[in-house]
Chains A and B, each alone.
Chain A
């Protein structure tokens, strides 16, 4: 069902876990819908220095979370605002059509993290 690239990110997720000192934390999804994504970013000098995630969800949700943390690294806040779910799907080499919502979840979590950063909640 999944491409080799998706399976690789599912089996060997990159940047999984907490991120001490994260100053932009976002989340998306709902436990009763079967997926929750939490994204941690450490933004220094206007760029993402580190990113990590924690995800409860299906294989596609975990793979999209993993690739998202790779995609955002080094990007400026402005560049982050331009990241879309379609880019996440493309980076994974495609997802089954009924799994598209997982990439939407990734975009939502990123928007949520940016909102958190702007509000300064996680700053410090």
Chain B
């Protein structure tokens, strides 16, 4: 989105930003209605990094193709988790990033359908068919290729394994903790993502307390389940998650949101730890929270936690 804002501000492009529904899904009719005779490009996220919602890319891409509009999708989050085939899909461009596939950081790839003409990204030498000047990082490219090859072989089994862990984490947390909301789409969601809002608790304090309890934060490549928050209080930016706001999560619940990300290195034991630690931390912070006191005073008795 920052790139679109740059194009608007510095180069005079007009950009239409599509709304999403309560699960974060783009409605095909909204995309169809937004296309203008002078629309040159549609760029959509394949899967959202915060809530894991997987967009119906085939359907949306077909719509663009029908209207003769170039279609790009950002598959950085989806690659290695959702199988796809650029040859049979109606996409003109698709980007992936190496570090999400356990390839070295700094590597990425842009798939460009044959016949799609692009201006050079960097001026200079004739590398990469005049599109990107500079000596190629051959070792990095080979590493990314190998990572993709492995992902292609393992995606299906690994996706099922991680999904089972995520589902157990989700069910376990919902069973143990009252007043929790799942953010995003339950039916169309990346296998590794769980985004929850805990009422009456602020996300930065929750993540901080999880960190103190031995959780590994922001690092899906290390043991432990990564946790991060969409609350504004977590960073110097002080802007709460625009993704959660876009799907209609009330501000207080945006502040109480935590994204748990699982990965290749997570095991059942990590889920066991999370099911012990997260409910205890939420309970401690709720005991401190004046909102929780008010909530209990105005709510019927809590269901017995199992």
Contacts and interface: CB of A to CB of B under 8 A. Distances in A.
B288 A16 contact: yes
A57 interface: yes
Contacts of B202: 34-35, 56-58, 61
A34 B231 CA distance: 8
A56 B233 CA distance: 12
Interface in B183-232: 200-202, 204-205, 208-209, 212, 231-232
Chain B interface main SS type:
helix
A115 to B, nearest CB: 18
Interface residues of B, number: 27
Contacts of A7: 212
Chain A interface main SS type:
mixed
Interface string A88-105: 000000001110000000
B255 A34 contact: yes
Given A17-B287, A36-B291, A54-B288, A59 B236 contact: no
A42 interface: no
A17 B233 CA distance: 23
B255 A36 contact: no
A32 B288 contact: no
Contacts of B235: 98
Nearest to B213: A11
Interface in A24-39: 27, 31-38
Interface residues of A, number: 29
A21 B72 CA distance: 64
A11 B212 contact: yes
Interface in A71-119: 96-98
B240 interface: yes
A98 B234 CA distance: 10
A59 B205 contact: yes
A58 B231 contact: yes
B293 to A, nearest CB: 6
Interface of B: 200-202, 204-205, 208-209, 212, 231-236, 238, 240, 250-252, 255, 287-293
Given A35-B202, A56-B200, A98-B238, 17 more contacts: A2-B208, A11-B209, A16-B287, A17-B287, A17-B288, A32-B250, A32-B252, A37-B290, A54-B289, A55-B290, A56-B202, A58-B208, A58-B233, A61-B233, A96-B236, A98-B235, A98-B236
Interface of A: 2, 7, 10-11, 13, 16-18, 27, 31-38, 54-62, 96-98
